[in-house]
């Protein structure tokens, strides 16, 4: 069976109306959930909603059964496809978002004498990864309704932060 490892990338990056509908197949038993969705609080904020289809699972199994798990040919193809989908000249696969943020901060030359403003509600790595290189980290408030940093929050953070490079 031929497997296209990254067939779902275009589905994930496509606008919602262009996403491929799920394949009709026999329903698989639902995995046990620690908290059934019907009992979640109305204020529960889900971490994310994934689109994992059979071809994604088959691609992962193919890599797990292969000779090279982390540095094999699939990684190179993944990087090429991400670069092509985003229009970038190159892309580098990372082991985590933390590693990616650190690499991005380092590529930008961030360090002592720089200031980075991050939203107050974010993953720890948003601030800790670049902090390893020495810049000052300043937290900005966020909209209490959306949890997102607004332009006014950025302006307030800038006002209390001496601009450095």
Q: What is the DSSP secondary-structure string of 18-29?
A: GSPPPPP-PPPP
- What pLDDT score does 107 carry? 95
For 118, the 3-state DSSP assignment is strand
Question: How far from chain centre, in Å, is Cα 13?
Answer: 12
The C-alpha atoms of residue 2 and residue 14 are separated, in whole angstroms, by: 23
- Is 144 found in the same domain as 117? yes
- What pLDDT score does 96 carry? 93
DSSP letter at 137?
A: E
Q: Does pLDDT of 19 surpass 50?
A: no
In this prediction the pTM is 0.64
pLDDT in tens, 103-134: 999 999 999 999 999 999 889 999 999 999 99
Domain tally, the chain: 2
61: pLDDT confidence band, cut at 50, 70 and 90?
very high
- Is 116 found in the same domain as 88? no
The C-alpha atoms of residue 71 and residue 74 are separated, in whole angstroms, by: 8
- What pLDDT score does 6 carry? 54
Place of tokens 């059934």: 36
pLDDT in tens, 63-115: 999 888 888 888 999 999 999 999 999 999 999 999 999 999 999 999 999 99
Domain that holds residue 67: 1-13+52-93
Residue 70 — φ and ψ, nearest 5°? Answer: -110, -15
Specify the higher pLDDT residue, 93 or 36: 93
- Is 154 found in the same domain as 121? yes
Q: 10 Å Cβ neighbour count for 70?
A: 9
Residue 43 domain-assigned (yes or no): no
2: pLDDT confidence band, cut at 50, 70 and 90?
very low
For 40, the 3-state DSSP assignment is coil
């Amino acid at each position: 069976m031929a497997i296209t490892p990254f067939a779902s990338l275009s589905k994930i990056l496509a606008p919602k109306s262009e996403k491929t509908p799920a394949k009709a197949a026999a329903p698989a038993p639902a995995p046990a959930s620690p908290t059934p969705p019907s009992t979640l609080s109305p204020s529960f904020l889900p971490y994310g909603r994934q689109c994992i289809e059979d071809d994604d699972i088959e691609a992962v199994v193919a890599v797990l059964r292969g000779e090279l798990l982390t540095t094999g040919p699939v990684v190179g193809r993944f990087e090429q496809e991400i670069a092509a989908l985003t229009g970038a000249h190159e892309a580098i696969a990372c082991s985590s978002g933390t590693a990616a943020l650190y690499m991005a901060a380092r590529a930008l030359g961030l360090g002592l004498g720089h200031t980075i403003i991050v939203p107050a509600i974010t993953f720890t790595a948003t601030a800790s990864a670049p902090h390893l290189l020495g810049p000052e980290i300043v937290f900005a408030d966020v909209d209490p309704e959306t949890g997102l940093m607004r332009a006014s929050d950025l302006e307030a953070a800038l006002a209390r932060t001496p601009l450095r490079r």
